[in-house]
Amino acid sequence: MIIPCIDLQDGKVVQLVQGREKALEGGTPEEMLERFAAFRQIQAIDLDAAMDRGSNDELVELIASRAIARVGGGVRSPGRAHALISQGAHRVIVGTAAFNRPVLESIAQAIGPERLVVALDSKGGNVVVRGWRETTEFTAEEMLPHLEPYCSGFLCTYVDKEGMLQGTDLDWFRRLRAATQHELTAAGGITTLEEIRELQKLGIHAALGMAIYTGRLDLEELARLNG
């Protein structure tokens, strides 16, 4: 499955490079939802909430109410996760909170593991948290089996190439695929149809941002590939 991304910052749809430098702004959330209408699911991330710099709650609620959306960014409590589900989110993405076992357990209990996706984003070989600003001592490969009981899938971003349109690391995603039978979604640097097809062969979904916002990948062609 191909999943277009809507990242929110300061009330706008944006694309960042490696989670830091804003590269471009997209249309309004309503315009982006219309552009992505042919896709079965979308992904919405509140970057301000992820970085503890406020939130874009109204826009998140708008997106969650109008599309089958997986939503993340700053989800660090069962109350927040439950609120997103109540607003219409199909699934909730948790990153930083996954490294606090009691919090992760309480979120999984609040919404059910089937509604929970754990984000394991890697930079320089290690998982990064808090809006990719803090590096942990763990690799994504070693964390996957420990987190499986609490979720139904993983969102794994190769941060080293995020937003750079230079391709991603397919070997890393192959290692992740070998480490878990859970659903996997790849993100970070995916630039070509060939990469998407290779991920599909591995049974891995592709979350796309910069490549579609810049027109590097054509939405109609992606919709056909998505079936």
Where in the sequence numbering do the catalytic residues fall?
7, 121
CA distance 103 to 36: 33
Q: Which two tokens stand for residue 159?
A: 């941060």
Which residue, 78, 167, 171, is CA-closest to 116? Answer: 78
- Cβ of 207: how many Cβ atoms within 10 Å? 22
Residue 51's nearest CA partner among 14, 106, 104 is: 14
Query: One-letter amino acid identity for 115?
Result: R
| Cα 13 to Cα 59: distance, rounded to the nearest angstrom | 10
Which one-letter amino acid corresponds to residue 202? L
Longest dimension (CA), the chain: 43
CB 141 within 8 A of CB 175: yes
**212 close to 4: Cβ distance less than 8 angstroms:** yes
Token pair 């490969």 in the structure block, residue: 141
